[in-house]
Amino acid sequence: MQNHARAGRLDWIGLRPARKADLITPDRAEVTEAGLVGDRHPSPGKRAVTLIQAEHLPVITALCGKTDITPELLRRNLMVSGINLSALRNQTLQIGDVTLKITSPCAPCSRMEVILGHGGYNAMRGHGGWCAELITPGHIRIGDPVNAL
């Protein structure tokens, strides 16, 4: 249960500056106890950071009957690839000099029906990503390895 084939990779960072605003996609970000600096939802605790796995985007795309869904549409903070986030529930991972603990599934919101179209909410169920709490603050950048600890 502790073995992973390889390290993952941080592929994308998204900051939600305001409700319903377009996401800002920086190359790097600071992560504090309240989440990513510049994100509108300072949320210390078990939902400080939201993650989605890149490998789930094609599944969501297919279930919505779309041709391409980008991480910006899904409104999560981080997109990682190459490591199974579901296998890391209640475990810690390191991205850059930041340590996070995966806490719970990140349920889709009703806005997915508007953003992704009819059935978008259900397309996201089981594929909506994960919430995490901050263990060690620091900085992350696109390309950082994602390692299970």
- Write out pLDDT tens, residues 66-118: 888 999 999 899 999 999 999 999 999 999 999 999 999 998 888 899 989 99
In the numeric block, the tokens 């340590």 are attached to 99
Would the pLDDT of 48 be above 70?
yes
Residue 2 lies in a domain: no
* Number of domains making up the chain: 1
Q: Indicate whether 3 belongs to any domain.
A: no
What pLDDT, on a 0 to 100 scale, did the predictor assign at position 4?
67
Residue 128: inside a domain, yes or no?
yes
CB atoms within 10 A of CB 16: 20
Residues listed for the chain: 149
In a domain, 64, yes or no: yes
Domain of 20? 8-148
Give the pLDDT mean for 45-64.
Answer: 93
- pTM for the predicted model, two decimal places: 0.92
CATH number at residue 28: 2.40.33.20
Extract the tokens encoding 100.
């996070």
What amino acid is encoded at 51 in this protein?
L
